[in-house]
Amino acid sequence: MDAKFWLLQAFNGVSYGALLFLLGSGLSLIFGVMRIVNIAHGSYFLLGGYVALTVIWTTGSWLLAIPAAALAIALLGLATERIFLRPLGFDVLRQVLVTFGFLLLFQQAALDIWGGDNFIINPPPALARSLAAGSLHLPLYRIFMIALAAVIGLVLWLVLEKTRIGAVVRATVDDAEMARGVGIDTSRVSMLIFALGATLAGLGGMIGGAFLGVYPGLDLDILPIAFAVVIIGGMGSLGGAAIGAVVVGLADNFGKALFPEVAYFTLYAPMVLLLAVKPTGLFGRA
């Protein structure tokens, strides 16, 4: 257990966290603005990967697959929100059940459309290499994931903090009733945020496809981890999601490396304790 071990594990943890940020920030925003617990969020992640694969198979372009996956899942999210979730209002229990229903439907549809083979999205050769720093080998793709998550996080933060649209969103998060009172169309805000959250998940699925793969069951594998991110960071907080993602990424990495016997406990038990002490998560608002 030398410095190299710690450095490498930390790097791995942060890069995994970067991917989780893409997934978790959307889930967190959706909850913050709309109080929707979206069980189908993992499905958006998976479907994003499948759409990207289809684009790569037909056009051969990895770059084109990024916007295609994001856009397709954005549309899917938009439709889900408008047609199914809006009429439910702020009813968490029903949201959970409806979105679980969608999880089942998406799962079967994905199986029927793409078959059940395991796939992996091959990154362009430039990103498939690894960077040698002394005796350390850092896969370039992981560095790319960190950079991408940082850029997206920064853009989201700037939009939320510095623009009018951001102010409108923040007002809706803080007090929807009041926001409506001053003439904000909160329904449209919700729609946009849901689409944004779905976009991020779809993008995550595309980016993660090189790293976690694309396979039936990925939706349910990734979902509890996304929830852990959101729970630890606190729902509805972008900064919280970022910190939650890094914490979960690191906890998962070091947990597995140092205490392999209790790998799942290192994830869920601290979550229970945190929830018991501060039910709203580290940065969440009630």
Partner 1 sequence: MTRQGKVLAVVLALFAIAAITPHTTPFLLLLVTRGLIIAILAMSVDLLLGFTGLPSLGQAAYLGLGAYLAAILATRFQFGLGWDFLLVILFGILLGAATAAVFGLFALRAGGVYFLMITLALSQCVWGLAYRWDSLTGGDNGLNLLGRPTLGPIRLGNDATYFYLVFAFFVLSLLVLYVLVESPFGRSLVGIREHEVRMRILGYNTWLHKFITFVVAGGFGGLAGVLWAEVSGQVSPEDVTLTTSVDALLMVVLGGPGTLIGGAVGAAIVLFLREYLSTLVPWWQYVLGGVYVLAIYCLPDGLLGIRRAPRRPAGAGREVALIGIWRRRAEPETRDKREVG
Partner 2 sequence: MTAKSLARIGLMALAAAFASIAARGAAADELRIGFLAPTTGPFAQIAADMRNGFQMYLDDHKGQFHGATVKFIVEDTQGKPATAVLKAEKLIKQNKVNMLVGGLLASTGYALAPVSTREKVIYISSIPASDNLTQRDASKYPYFARTSWSSSQPSHPFGAWACAHGFKKIDTIASDYAFGYEVVGGFQKTFEQCGGKIVQKIWPPINTMDFGPYIADLNPDADAIFIVPVGAGTLQLPKQLAASGNKKRVIGAGTSFDEFVLPSMGDEVIGDISALHYSAALQTPENEAFVKEYRAKYGKVPSYYSENNYTTAALIDAVMTETGGKWPGAQEFLKRLVALKINAPRGPVSFDDMRNPIQNIYIRKVEKTKMFGYPKPELWNVVIKTYPHVSQFWTYGKAEFLKQPVYSRDYPPCKYCE
- Tell me: does residue 217 bind partner 2 (CB under 8 A): yes
Helix (H) or strand (E) holding 16: helix 3-34
Interface map 12-31 toward partner 1 (x if CB under 8 A): -------------------x
Give the bridge partners for 131, in sequence order: 138
Binding-site partner at residue 82 among partner 2, partner 1, none, CB < 5 to 8 Å by type: none
Q: Based on CB atoms, which residue is closest to partner 2, 18 or 192? A: 18
Element of type H or E holding 32: helix 3-34
Q: Considering only CA atoms, which of 277, 185, 179 is closest in space to residue 231?
A: 277
Nearer to partner 2, 250 or 282 (CB): 250
Torsion-angle region of residue 152: left (phi > 0), alpha (psi -120 to 50) or beta?
alpha
Query: Quick one: 97 or 111, whose CB is closer to partner 2?
Result: 111
Q: What is the DSSP string of 111-170?
A: HHHH-S--B--PPPHHHHSEEEETTEEEEHHHHHHHHHHHHHHHHHHHHHHHSHHHHHHH
Using alpha carbons, select from 131, 120, 136, 148 the residue that is nearest to residue 14.
148
Cα dihedral across residues 198, 122, 249, 135: positive or negative: negative
Nearest to 222 by CA among 10, 18, 19: 19
Of 70 and 235, CB closest to partner 1:
235
The reply to whether 116 sits near partner 1 by the rule CB under 8 A is: no
Closest approach of Cβ 138 to partner 2, in Å? 9
| 93: contact with partner 1 by CB under 8 A | yes
Stretch of 116-124, 162-170, 171-179, 230-238 lying at the interface with partner 2 (CB under 8 A) = 116-124
183 binding partner 1? (CB under 8 A):
no
- Residue tagged 């799942």 (tokens): 264
Among the residue ranges 19-27, 69-77, 91-99, 201-209, the one whose residues contact partner 1 (CB under 8 A): 91-99
Residues found near partner 1 in the complex (CB under 8 A)? 31, 35, 37, 39, 84, 86-94, 96-98, 100-105, 107-108, 175-177, 186-187, 220, 223-224, 227-228, 231, 235, 261-265, 268-269, 271-273, 275-276, 279-280
